[in-house]
Structures are given as C-alpha cells and as structure tokens.
Chain A
Amino acid sequence: MGGNAWTILRSLNQERIVLVVAVLIFGAAVIALPGFFTSANLISIVRSISVLGILALGMSVVIIGRGIDLSMVAVMAMSIAWYLQLLGDGMTEHSALLLVLGGVLAIGLLNGILVAYAEVPAIFVTLASGSFVFGYVRSQLITSDAVPVPTGHWVELLGGLRLAGIPVEVYLFAVLSGAVFLFLRFTKWGRYVYYAGDNPVAARNIGIPVRPMLVLRYVLSALIAFAAGLLTAASLHSINTRIVNSTLLYDIVLVAVIGGIGLAGGKGGVRNVLVGAALIGIMLNAMTIIDISLLYQNLIKSTILLFAIIIDGLLNPRDEQTAQQGDI
C-alpha cells in the first residue's frame, strides 16, 4: 500500500539519504570523469563548498527560526566591494573595517527589526533590503562592477594561505561549522532558535524573548555573509558585484533544504548543512567537468530545488495536526 511506503519514506533520515546520494555521485564521477579525482580538482571542490557552506550556515540559523534571509548574497558582495573600495581610496585598514562592519550590522538589524517588530514577512523584507544594499553600494559607494584587492593586503595573503596543502577557506568553514554547532546545540540562545522555529507563539508564552532573538539571527547571518565575502575576495583577488544577480542565492537555499533543514522551521542543524554542501558541491563540480552549459546547470539546479521544496513540504508540513481541538 501507498501508506506503507510512506511510513518507510518518513522513517528514513533525509540527512542519510542525501549523504548516500552524495557518495554515489562522487563514486560515479571518480570512475567516469577523467580529471575529477585529481588533487587540484578535489581542492577546488572543497574550496567552492567552503564559501557556499559558510553562507548556508548563516541561512540555516535563520531558516531554523522560521525565517529566510534573501539579502545574504548582496550583503556578502557589496560589503566587501565597499571595503575594498575604501582601502583603494586610501582609508586606513582600521577605519575601513569598522565602517563596513557597522554597515553590515545595520543591515542585519534592519532586517531583524522589520521582521520581528514590524512583522513584515521575512521573504519580502530581505528581498527588498538585499536589492537596496546592492543598488545603494553600487551607485553611491563604488565605481565599477569589480573591485580588486590592493596588492599585498592581508586579504590577498589569506587567499594564498595553505596549511598542509589545503586552502585556508576549508579550515575557516570547519571552524565556523564548529562554532555554529556549539551555538545551536549548547547555548541558551541557540536552543531558543528551535523553540521559536517550532512554535513562536508558544515560545513567547513561556517567556522566551522571541523578538530580540529574531533580530540576533539576522545580524548573525549578515556577519556570516561578510565573512564569506572576505573568503571569496581572498581566493579571486577581487570581488565582482555581479554575483548578486547570479544563482548563488538559490544554491544557498538549495544546500540548506536538500540537507534536511525544513523550511517550516525548528528542524535541522550543522550536520544537515555539511551533507547538503557536499552533495551540491560535488554535483556542481561534476557538471562543470562534463561541460554542461551554465544554462542547463541552472535548469538542473532549479529542478532539484523545486523537488526538494516539494518533498520538504510533504515531510515537514507547517500544520501537522489539522484536527481541531474543542469547538464542539
């Protein structure tokens, strides 16, 4: 019966399925694709996974709390572009960093306050603030689409830094993953994310400061976006603001959702981000090696995202218990 198959499907752990699929794709690519299993390519995979994964970490904290942050890519690219521009214009390292961090904090606060206190749906707030950030920084604060890293600057050195042959991004991703894991698992504020994501009204009623915590999450995701931007600039020696109009944002959501972080909130953790990032990273790399055009890559990714969201909606419905209590 269909019901039976359904129970089996539900009892399976999405995280495990995704891990198995990732390993299968990896195995298939090793066998079928020449040039896939080389140290240079493997490093490029982990490198691309790292930036994507860091962004997905920030996104996940927001999603678990039943929100979404669509301004992440804009904040990531534009904050770094502005920072590099300031440096290029001769501002001191110190004041440039402080100024940009202030801006990043302001956007996070704005997102959070609008969602928490003005109760505007997160999807619209962050969509609007993201395009505002892009438009304002591009038109007022920087002079060209791509801003280079000044030669000899620490960001440039960061890009070339390797420990035991592995680029520094990977270590940073690992450290950030550990930090977010500890935050979600072992701190009071981290646990609050889950309660607010599962049932915000109940969370408020038992005395959890739901609104301040919401603001905190958007500030956190903005700061994480800034960190991811630093790494991007470090590996490319410049930042191209056109990335805001790329599909990177959807890749981030894809990583979170496919890893098993339910869009309904209250579910998932760092492990889900790791498996999601592994699967997407391997897949994207394999598609590039096979030389599937970008057009088709996007089609494939969006199809997967669509299916992932549908399956997520079935597995984690927002309203599990539709039967009404009382009202007899």
Chain B
Amino acid sequence: MDPIVRMNDITMAYRGVPAVKNVDFDLREGEIHALLGENGAGKSTLTKVMAGVVEPTGGSMSYRGKVVKFASPHEALQAGIAMVFQETSLVPSMSVAQNLYLGAESFLNRLRGTNIAAQQFLQSLNFPVDPTAMVETLGAAKRQMVEIARAVHHEARVIIFDEPTAALTPEEKRHFFALLRRLKARGVSIVFISHALEEALLLADRITILRDGELVATGPTADFDRDKIIAAMVGRTLSGSLYRKRDTASLRKPGRKVLSVQDISMGKMVRNTSFSIFEGQVTGVFGLIGSGRTETFKIVAGIYKRDFNRGGTITLDDKPVRYYTPAEAVRGGIAYVTEDRKSEGIFETMSIGENMFGGLLAAGGEQGLVIRSRSVRELAEEWTGRLNIKTINADARVVELSGGNQQKVVIGKGLVQKPRIVIFDEPTRGVDVAAIAEIHQIINDLADQGLAVVMISSYLPEISNLSDRILVCRQGRIVEELSPAEATEEKIMYAAVH
C-alpha cells in the first residue's frame, strides 16, 4: 500500500543552519507513527514542514500520491493535514463551540445553532466537553480534546501531535490514548512527537528516530525496545575535542558550598526540589523541555518567586535568602544568562558597550548617581577582547551581530557584574559551531577561576563534556545526581525521560 504522506530528502535550514537534513519519511494510512529524538533533533521542524507551517529549503513531499507544496498551514488543513500544537492555538476567551468552528463560520451564524452542532459533534467523538464552556476555564486535557475535535472536524486525514501528553495527568493520558486508537480505527493517520518512550512503545505502530536533524532509525515498533531507542537517540559519533570523554582525574573537585536549595516549590512547575551548588566547578543541569529546570534556576536568580507558603528555603553562604527581584540576587552575586536572549537578554538597539554598561550600572559598579560616559567605551573594548566578540565597529547595534556574538554580549553583561554564581541557561542555543567552542571555553575558564557555574542544557554532549557533576531534572525536580566519569549519555537520558 502506498503511504499517505511521503517526504523525500527533506532539508530545512534556518538562516543557513540546517535543523533537518535529507530526511526521508513515510506515513502509512491509518497508522500511529511515533517520532522520537532529543530536544533540537528536528522533530518539530519535520512535522512543521508536513503541516505547511514552514516551507522546506530542499526536498519534496507527496500526499495521497500527488506532489504537494503547502504555502500555509491553512492549505495543509484544507488538504487534510492538521497539526495539534504544543502550545495550543485556541482562543481562551471564546467558548468551545466557537473555537471548534473558528475560521469556518458561515457568514451569518447563530450561537445556539453552533452550540447544538458542536454538542452533537463532540458526542460523536465521545468527548465529555461542554460546548458552551469558555476555553480558559478548561484543563489541559479538555483543551487538547477541543484541539483534536477541531482537527477531526476539518476531516483531517493526517493529524500531527507535538508533545501531546506533556501537560496531561496519568488519567487524562489514558483517555487520550483511547482517543488515538479510535481515530486510528476511523482510518486517520497519526504522527506523534513524544519524550515519553513508554508511550511510543505502547501506542505506535512504527517508530522513527531523529538525531541532529538526521534520520537514524525507522521501523515497526516490535523492532525496538527502550534501550535501543535511547541508544539511537543519543549515540552520536564523537568528533573532535568538543566531544572528548572525561575521566575522574579531569573533573574539578567541589569547592565551598555557596548555594543550598531545600524543597523549593513554585506552582506545578517546580515541586519540592533540593540541591547544592559548589564553587570552582561546573554543575550541569540536564532536563527535557518542561522539566522545570529553567524555572528552578530563575527562582534562584530572583526572576521568579517561589511559593510563599511551603516554598522551601534557599541558603546563600549559610544565610537564608528570599529574593523578590533579580536586583537582590545580582547584589548577592548571582548572574543568570538567559536561554532567550532576544526577548530577555539583549538591548538590541544599543551598542555592545551600552549593553555591558547596563550590567555594570545595575550591579552598582558605578558609584554614586553621576556616571562617566568614558567608561562605556572602555567596557566595550575590554569585553570585546575578553570574549572575542566579532563586530565591524564598536558602535554596532547588538541586533546586527550574529547569534553567537549576541550570546557573548549576554554572557558579558552578566560577567561584568562580578558574580560568584553564574547560571547559564542553554548557553549555545542558536549559536554557530565556532562560537560554541568559545563559549564552552568561557564556561570552563570561569570554573577554573573558582566561580560556581551552573549550566542548564538539553544538549547531551555539552552536559557530559563540561560538567563536573550532573543534575538531572524531571517533572519539576532534580531527580538524580551523576558523575560525568560514570554517566553515559544513555544513563542521563534514562533518568530524564519518564
């Protein structure tokens, strides 16, 4: 039987950096196909190409035997390919029924008629959702049902789920799996992206594994088991000094304990997590997206506030602290280098020097209210040299720099504050290869200078090669501590997936 979707030699590059390289992918009629891989392996990109969200830079795709090229998600939906997004695309302030028919309303429509039609439709799918309820009042599972109902309503023949179970409780997951089976029975083909390997093994007919944008394994589920999948997900070829293997002797010994976190909680994102950070070493924090790793360390940096009641305790130098603003954390010597430099890291219309100067000012580096403008230029010169920031001229606006150089500016902005604890959150995301090596060097140097360095990353080679100890985060807490000497990438991944 011919596959319903066939992707040939698909390549997708963002600004020259390929996220997916020469991937061939088949989806058969009426199958559940699991797409697995680490964060950044290219799963989302591949499915976005399929659903017309992005146009591939190379390769072709055929749907129902015909070559197609979707210019927009709308076109793909018209043809019968729907994508249910990780972040749901519902309108929170509208009712379930209105959301179901969003974009497909007749010119004149009555609310009552819409509600009745929605009611009947939801019942036919066996979804216990009230069509008149506002979407904002629904839980994650019901929202997802509405999303799915919308896809089915458009008579989608192919439905793509991006991390569908991340927000669901075990009970809701069971309902969701039953639904997938029902959809399958109706002849709908399903692609689902997941970090939960058990789900894939349980549900899927076939499994495809991507790594670093390339397809590494594909086949019937019966050919795979948990260990095989993990090996395929992480088993990259070790190339160059970037991916050297560490032995016990090369690990830095922990210095003084500077930060101790006990049982901190914040809503559902961070649950009762405890750990310590030591001077003079790199503490690697590994976790998949949604594991609460960023939130945990944003609490440490004063950006988020932990729960007021039973929020746990944070001790810095044996003194309990509770920060209400990042300014207090900065004064305490904690610098946080964000994972999202565009929206919360750089001042894009300003020069490198002004960016650095902001960090200095905020840390109280300039005494008194009056500042000297000379120091901006000095700072720019000093830090472009120290961090090897490449720029055409010193007055260039940061927005004009490449991703790697912007990242160095964000790092410099933190370092200029002379912190004792530096938290790097995904320090090499969206950064070119040459800059990755340089940023790794910066991180190593800081630890050698005796600073307490925390590096959050979802990139395994980065974790195992830079860390002197590894914390693994899962479902809002640090679940395991490993030593890089003994931890294989398989072991780390095993602890991080549930």
- Whether B222 sits at the interface, judged by CB under 8 Å, is no
Expressed in whole angstroms, the minimum distance between the Cβ of B422 and any Cβ of chain A is 13
Q: Give A281-328 interface residues, CB cut-off 8 Å to B.
A: 316, 320-321, 323-328
Chain A residues contacting B303 (CB-CB under 8 Å) are 204-205
Expressed in whole angstroms, the minimum distance between the Cβ of B21 and any Cβ of chain A is 12
- Whether A94 sits at the interface, judged by CB under 8 Å, is no
Q: B329: nearest residue on chain A (CB-CB)?
A: A207
Contact A195 to B347, CB < 8 A, known contacts A208-B327, A323-B15: yes
- Whether A15 sits at the interface, judged by CB under 8 Å, is no
Q: A203: nearest residue on chain B (CB-CB)?
A: B358
Q: Quick check: which of A80-88, A126-134, A171-179, A184-192 contacts chain B, the rest being far away?
A: A184-192
- Whether A266 sits at the interface, judged by CB under 8 Å, is yes
Expressed in whole angstroms, the minimum distance between the Cβ of A181 and any Cβ of chain B is 12
In Å, the complex CA distance between A206 and B423 comes to: 12
Contact present for B349 and A266 (CB under 8 Å): yes
Q: Give B327-373 interface residues, CB cut-off 8 Å to A.
A: 327, 329-331, 336, 338-350, 354, 357-359, 361-363, 366, 368-371, 373
- Whether B42 sits at the interface, judged by CB under 8 Å, is yes
- Of the candidates B213, B331, B336, the one whose C-beta lies within 8 Å of that of A205 is B336
- Whether A21 sits at the interface, judged by CB under 8 Å, is no
Contact present for A189 and B369 (CB under 8 Å): yes
Contact digits for B297-310, partner A, Cβ 8 Å, 1 yes 0 no: 00001010000000
In Å, the complex CA distance between A208 and B371 comes to: 15
Expressed in whole angstroms, the minimum distance between the Cβ of B99 and any Cβ of chain A is 24
Contact present for B343 and A206 (CB under 8 Å): no
Chain A residues contacting B338 (CB-CB under 8 Å) are 202, 205
Contact A320 to B399, CB < 8 A, known contacts A206-B359, A325-B341: yes
Contact present for A207 and B350 (CB under 8 Å): no
Contact present for A327 and B366 (CB under 8 Å): no
- Whether B252 sits at the interface, judged by CB under 8 Å, is no
- Whether B291 sits at the interface, judged by CB under 8 Å, is no
Contact present for A325 and B336 (CB under 8 Å): no
Chain B residues contacting A189 (CB-CB under 8 Å) are 369
Contact present for A267 and B342 (CB under 8 Å): no
In Å, the complex CA distance between A187 and B348 comes to: 21
- Of the candidates A195, A325, A326, A327, the one whose C-beta lies within 8 Å of that of B358 is A195
Contact digits for A65-103, partner B, Cβ 8 Å, 1 yes 0 no: 000000000000000000000000000000000000000
Q: B43: nearest residue on chain A (CB-CB)?
A: A328
Chain B residues contacting A201 (CB-CB under 8 Å) are 343-344
- Whether A150 sits at the interface, judged by CB under 8 Å, is no
Contact present for A321 and B369 (CB under 8 Å): no
In Å, the complex CA distance between A244 and B84 comes to: 52
Q: B410: nearest residue on chain A (CB-CB)?
A: A202
Q: A322: nearest residue on chain B (CB-CB)?
A: B342
Chain A residues contacting B370 (CB-CB under 8 Å) are 186-188
Contact A321 to B399, CB < 8 A, known contacts A198-B348, A201-B343, A267-B349: yes
Q: Which has the most chain A C-beta neighbours within 10 Å: B301, B326, B403, B413?
A: B326
Contact present for B346 and A202 (CB under 8 Å): yes
In Å, the complex CA distance between A321 and B345 comes to: 13
Chain A residues contacting B354 (CB-CB under 8 Å) are 194
Contact digits for B186-197, partner A, Cβ 8 Å, 1 yes 0 no: 000000000000
- Whether A14 sits at the interface, judged by CB under 8 Å, is no
- Whether A199 sits at the interface, judged by CB under 8 Å, is yes
Chain A residues contacting B464 (CB-CB under 8 Å) are none
Interface size on B, residues (CB 8 A): 51
Contact present for B362 and A326 (CB under 8 Å): no
- Of the candidates B42, B342, B362, B417, the one whose C-beta lies within 8 Å of that of A325 is B342
Contact present for A321 and B342 (CB under 8 Å): yes
Q: Which has the most chain B C-beta neighbours within 10 Å: A192, A205, A209, A323?
A: A205
Chain B residues contacting A267 (CB-CB under 8 Å) are 349
In Å, the complex CA distance between A208 and B347 comes to: 13
- Of the candidates A188, A192, A199, A209, the one whose C-beta lies within 8 Å of that of B325 is A209
Q: A328: nearest residue on chain B (CB-CB)?
A: B19
Expressed in whole angstroms, the minimum distance between the Cβ of B130 and any Cβ of chain A is 32
Contact A206 to B348, CB < 8 A, known contacts A187-B371, A192-B361: no
Contact A206 to B44, CB < 8 A, known contacts A187-B370, A198-B350: no
Chain A residues contacting B450 (CB-CB under 8 Å) are none
Chain B residues contacting A202 (CB-CB under 8 Å) are 338, 343-347
Contact present for A326 and B430 (CB under 8 Å): yes
Expressed in whole angstroms, the minimum distance between the Cβ of B395 and any Cβ of chain A is 13
Contact present for B361 and A188 (CB under 8 Å): yes
- Of the candidates A185, A194, A199, the one whose C-beta lies within 8 Å of that of B373 is A185
Q: A192: nearest residue on chain B (CB-CB)?
A: B361
Chain B residues contacting A198 (CB-CB under 8 Å) are 347-350
Contact present for A187 and B369 (CB under 8 Å): yes
Expressed in whole angstroms, the minimum distance between the Cβ of A104 and any Cβ of chain B is 23
- Whether B52 sits at the interface, judged by CB under 8 Å, is no
- Whether B254 sits at the interface, judged by CB under 8 Å, is no
- Whether B414 sits at the interface, judged by CB under 8 Å, is yes
Chain B residues contacting A321 (CB-CB under 8 Å) are 342, 348, 399
In Å, the complex CA distance between A186 and B373 comes to: 7
Chain A residues contacting B399 (CB-CB under 8 Å) are 320-321
Q: Which has the most chain B C-beta neighbours within 10 Å: A201, A326, A328?
A: A328
Contact present for B329 and A206 (CB under 8 Å): no
Expressed in whole angstroms, the minimum distance between the Cβ of B488 and any Cβ of chain A is 25
Contact present for B358 and A206 (CB under 8 Å): yes
Contact present for A204 and B342 (CB under 8 Å): no
Chain B residues contacting A185 (CB-CB under 8 Å) are 373
Contact present for B429 and A325 (CB under 8 Å): yes
Q: Which has the most chain B C-beta neighbours within 10 Å: A199, A201, A316, A320?
A: A199
- Of the candidates B213, B363, B403, the one whose C-beta lies within 8 Å of that of A207 is B363
Contact present for A199 and B344 (CB under 8 Å): yes
Contact digits for A261-274, partner B, Cβ 8 Å, 1 yes 0 no: 00000110000000
- Whether B45 sits at the interface, judged by CB under 8 Å, is yes
Expressed in whole angstroms, the minimum distance between the Cβ of A101 and any Cβ of chain B is 23
Expressed in whole angstroms, the minimum distance between the Cβ of A188 and any Cβ of chain B is 5
Contact present for B336 and A327 (CB under 8 Å): no
- Of the candidates B44, B301, B325, B350, the one whose C-beta lies within 8 Å of that of A194 is B350
In Å, the complex CA distance between A201 and B350 comes to: 15
Chain A residues contacting B349 (CB-CB under 8 Å) are 198, 266-267, 316, 320
- Whether B80 sits at the interface, judged by CB under 8 Å, is no
Contact present for B326 and A207 (CB under 8 Å): yes
Contact A188 to B40, CB < 8 A, known contacts A209-B325, A325-B430: no
Q: A195: nearest residue on chain B (CB-CB)?
A: B358
Q: Give A154-190 interface residues, CB cut-off 8 Å to B.
A: 185-189
B-side residues, CB < 8 A to A, are 14-15, 19, 40, 42, 44-45, 213, 301, 303, 325-327, 329-331, 336, 338-350, 354, 357-359, 361-363, 366, 368-371, 373, 399, 403, 413-414, 417, 426, 429-430
Q: Can you list 22 A-B pairs, Cβ within 8 angstroms, ordered by A?
A: A186-B373, A188-B366, A188-B369, A188-B370, A191-B358, A191-B371, A198-B347, A198-B348, A199-B345, A199-B347, A204-B303, A205-B345, A206-B358, A206-B413, A208-B361, A316-B349, A321-B342, A321-B348, A325-B342, A326-B40, A326-B340, A326-B426
Q: A206-B358, A320-B349 are in contact. List 14 more A-B contacts (CB 8 A).
A: A185-B373, A186-B370, A195-B361, A201-B343, A202-B346, A202-B347, A204-B325, A205-B326, A205-B344, A208-B358, A208-B362, A321-B399, A325-B340, A326-B340
Instruction: List 7 A-B pairs, minimum CB-CB distance, nearest first.
Output: A207-B330, A328-B19, A207-B362, A201-B344, A325-B430, A207-B327, A198-B347
